[in-house]
Structure 1
Amino acid sequence: MRDKQQIRNVFMPLPPGVIRDSIVSFLSTECSDASIADITSAVRSRVGEVSGSSVRSYLSLNSPDVFERTGRGRYRLLSPESTQKQGKLKILAPETIARVGNATLYNADCFDWLDDQPQNSIHAVVTDPPYGLIEYSKKETEKLRSGKGGVWRIPPSFDGHQRAPLPRFTILNDEDRRELSVFFHRLGTALARVAVPGANILVASNPLLSHIVAGAMAQSGLEIRGYISRQVMTMRGGDRPKNAHEEFDDVSVMPRSQWEPWVMLRKPLDGRVQDNLRRWGTGGFKRISEDRPFGDLIRSHPTPALEKKIAPHPSLKPQAFMRHLVRAVLPLGEGVVLDPFMGGGSTLAAANVVGYQSVGIELDKNFFEMAKTSVEQLTNVVVRESP
């Protein structure tokens, strides 16, 4: 078995950008310059224990583009106008960054954030994007929050239980689908740059749109590795023809959906699998046990009411499923897991439980604020036995 110290030397101690963003956050509040010791202390107060050499390296590598050395062991932040004019850094305000356990949360546009990250710095991606893009536009999320529905279908109540709104994927037209393809091609291109060779990229989808997601992301240079099937009964499908349900009472327009596809992609390997594992720590899935490999059919259940109460996000996935999935994506159990569409924070909470470093990006300010509290609470949720 590979020596653990060798593995640690491959991976960064914190997700990419965390130290730099903490330095920027601290220096942006300073009127002048600060010593390396003061900067290091400020970074530690934000993200936990880090080595002084890491701080010095970030300062040195990003000078004079972002930081200016004012004297021996002293630095200051260049003006935002200067750094942005050079296109070197998009400075985030302190309130747009949070740290919960091993997770770092950003309130930002994921494409902007990805553009600002170094190549080969993320070891796995697990995400549930807005694959019905219309649903997560500002106009439609405002309708959802006000209870007016918009393109969110309000299903009927059964047995006295209130049903959560569901996205109506079937209303997408040809232009919407073309825009969806462009969106996922752009996402695949951005992820292919920051992901290390052999990185697993798992993207939640649905049976109506998974072919668009897979095709667009494969065209960006990622390899399609198949699909993971989350076996779960949903509220989609099974309905009789609209406004003709009595005439055709024995017809369902679509089958009742009982599975959710996750598109499984991988950044091309650097050599053989064994070479990639030795160099990058990626290139496969972590086995469930010595005699049981990770499988592509995962029995699941709808998200429990307790978890939805903690994080009332319309696409929240259950922790039992997410912990099973997230654990598997890092074959050697070390690295950084990215969720560029963090939502309620279920991926980050799962990463905290299994002991992985993670980064979550969320554009919507309300969802970001939700995740700042829900990640810790979801981390502490006790679930029944994993799938």
Structure 2
Amino acid sequence: MPMDEQQIRYAPGRVRDAILQVMSLSSRPLSVKEIETRVGRMIGAAPTSSIRSYLRLNTPELFVREARGLYTVRGTAAGGTPRVSPATQQWREPVRFGKATLYHADCFDWIERQGNNTIHAVVTDPPYGLHEYTPEQQAKLRNGRGGVWRIPPSFDGHVRSPLPRFTVLTPEQLEYIRTFFLVWARTLMPRLVPGAHVVVASNPLLSYIVSGALAEAGLERRGEIIRLTMTMRGGDRPKSAHDEFPEVSVMPRSMWEPWIVYRKPIEGRVQDNLRKWGTGGFRRPSQDKPFGDVIPSAPTRKAER
């Protein structure tokens, strides 16, 4: 029986919200078929007629019809997060560096172009919050005041890099982060070989959101790798009440960074998976030393910058 005839029912607004969110994650116009596919990864199969109808009824108020059958979301329609106009995206050609190839591309588009069972591992340190990279917040960052960016004080003559304030994110913006990683992980899943690990850098305030999204997408949680590092985040006294509460830190000073570890389910036993795909475990530093989950880290050396 066709999907429309089955009359799949979702809570009011769920399909609408999914359409807005998946379109806001794209840096280019999407076809109706692409929108349907990405909405399906987020909430499950949705009737094509519902998606087409919502696009038709809300163009041009919420959507821009860039060409026949191609749509973008207008302004801040999705999650209060302004999207970058596809016209401003100028992707460059891939660059080879030793054995590595660097791609300048939209990650969703690039992943979708890869064949199934072709990616053996993913290690990524993505931007968080998404809100801090909107044009408005970037302008405040460059002006050095206001917005979600915290400008740390200079120390020993060194100007420190700005840091986003994750504590100011709204529930809507936190949900946007969850949506991003859910759609990302579901897009990635079929491209991963069985046993492929996915390691994602996070922070103690947001790791639970990212972890939940990856688990919902079907990846298996395999623990966390803890990177020991001293940051400028946390440890401050109450704002505008430093003298009144000199012995109080509002939240702990962050001295570690969680890298959450997930794995695509293996085929059979680990040994079988290793023989067929070469994946399923981590390489040991030596035969006598197992791979550990705590990594001491020093400040980035000048040569590495």
1: CA distance, partners of 2:118 / 2:112: 12
1:135/1:141 contact within 8 Å kept: yes
Shift of 1:151: 2.2
Look up the match of 2:198: 201
Name the SS of the counterpart of 1:201 in structure 2.
strand
| Structure 1: runs of 5+ lacking an equivalent | 1-80, 85-91, 309-387
**Number of residue pairs matched by the alignment:** 219
1:282 equivalent to 2:257? Answer no
Look up the match of 2:245: 248
Name the SS of the counterpart of 2:103 in structure 1.
strand
What do the CA deviations read for 1:52-110 (whole angstroms, capped 9, x no partner)? Answer: xxxxxxxxxxxxxxxxxxxxxxxxxxxxx9xx9xxxxxxx9883322222121222110
1: CA distance, partners of 2:143 / 2:300: 22
Residues 154 and 306 of structure 1, relative CA distance in 2, 3 Å threshold: farther
1:187 equivalent to 2:184? Answer yes
Look up the match of 2:104: 107
Correspondences of 1:179-328 after superposition (within 5 Å): 179-308=176-305
1:130 equivalent to 2:111? Answer no
1:149/1:165 contact within 8 Å kept: no
Judging by fraction of residues, say which structure has more helix: 1
2: CA distance, partners of 1:189 / 1:272: 24
Q: Which amino acid aligns with 2:261?
A: M
TM-score (norm. length: structure 2) = 0.67
Q: Looking at both structures, which has the greater relative contact order when contacts are Cα pairs under 8 Å and sequence separation is at least 6? A: 1
Q: Which amino acid aligns with 2:230?
A: M
Q: Which amino acid aligns with 2:279?
A: T
Name the SS of the counterpart of 2:226 in structure 1.
strand
2:94/2:101 contact within 8 Å kept: yes
2: CA distance, partners of 1:151 / 1:176: 13
2: CA distance, partners of 1:229 / 1:123: 22
Residues 305 and 116 of structure 1, relative CA distance in 2, 3 Å threshold: same
Look up the match of 2:117: 120
Q: Identity over the aligned pairs, expressed in percent?
A: 62
- Cα RMSD, aligned residues only: 2.1
2:91/2:104 contact within 8 Å kept: no
TM-score (norm. length: structure 1) = 0.53
Residues 144 and 307 of structure 1, relative CA distance in 2, 3 Å threshold: farther
Shift of 1:224: 0.7
Q: Which amino acid aligns with 2:276?
A: R
2:91/2:105 contact within 8 Å kept: no
Residues 107 and 141 of structure 1, relative CA distance in 2, 3 Å threshold: farther
Match of 2:169 among 169, 172, 175: 172
Residues 271 and 186 of structure 1, relative CA distance in 2, 3 Å threshold: same
Q: Which amino acid aligns with 1:187?
A: W
Shift of 1:145: 5.0
2:125/2:201 contact within 8 Å kept: yes
